[in-house]
Amino acid sequence: MKARPRPLRSVKMPAVGRPDIHRVAPWGEGQRLDAYLSRFLSERSRAQWQRLIETGIVTLNGLATRPSARLSPHDRLEIRPVAPAALLEPDPSILLDIVYEDPALVVINKPPGLVVHPAPGHQDGTLVHALLARFPALHDPSGQQRPGIIHRLDKDTSGLMVVGKTPEAVADVQGQMKLGQVEKHYLLLVTGEVPDDRAVIEVPIGRDRQHRQKMAARTDGRASRTEFRVLERFRGYTLVKADLASGRTHQLRVHFAYIRHPVAGDSVYGSGRGPEGLRRQFVHSAELSLTSPATGERLNLFCDLASDLAQVVANLGRQEPNLVPHLITPPQGENEPSGRW
């Protein structure tokens, strides 16, 4: 009677950070490497094992190999410790709207509804999955499932977002951000009619003590500064252009809620109230300025207001959709902010 195959087991317990070593059992003879691993180390799918083999995390007899490699009894398999990002499956079905690209950076126009990176409840179908399909060389040394991600936009926020193609590019742009050399400008529709034409909100932000998924204005929080100017006032709403002098989580939404003009459509920091046709929070990343690590060139990038938000403005009766993109071009000779919180 033929012996029933037993689960694959380690020959020895690997030291932390060192490869896990296996010997192929006699009943593995002739099997494909990816099929063998997925059957007897079933905590990962066959597709995940294929990706690990292709990236060199799994070796056969000390050499890089292919998922289709046929095994012989007592072949030596080494499996290096796996960062979570190595298991991400590229998703070519998610299309990317690329605004700018060079050897170091890619800037995309992120659509609303797209989560940036995997998180509880959103393990698939994220921007990271789309980036890996378009740029297979991306990788994440931190193991946080965020290859190339320098900063993020909320799921329901649209507009410009920069991604680094290499760890060096990511570090370079992050350094620019710390020095205040990256400029980010947003278009927001907030509830109520903001009285000041220009103002500064300078309020520290920290984790909300009661609701850990939220941020809050706190005296012991991290210093945060938002400058804004009014573009248009409507009945019950104000369209503003906000400049982030810092980049705290949910900064714009927290700051405008603090001055009692929460972002229209924001049900987390406001009532969720919004004008006709608004189906999400009205936040759009409209402008981005930074220096390319590859060319040294100063990049000044613009992105038209997303069509659904432009339609909301049109519904308010004061602007036509095709005029809205011009609102993101700052006028010459602006004065200093007139208000401060």
Active site residues: 154
Cα–Cα distance, 50 to 88 (Å, whole number): 12
CB 236 within 8 A of CB 192: yes
Single out the residue of 132, 50, 151 nearest to residue 92, CA to CA: 132
* First-residue to last-residue Cα distance in the chain: 82
Cα–Cα distance, 60 to 77 (Å, whole number): 5
Query: What φ, ψ does residue 12 adopt, rounded to 5°?
Result: -150, 160
Sequence-distant contacts of 329-332: CB under 8 A, at least 24 apart: 329/302, 330/241
Cα–Cα distance, 242 to 260 (Å, whole number): 16
CA angle 340, 232, 253 (to 5 degrees): 50
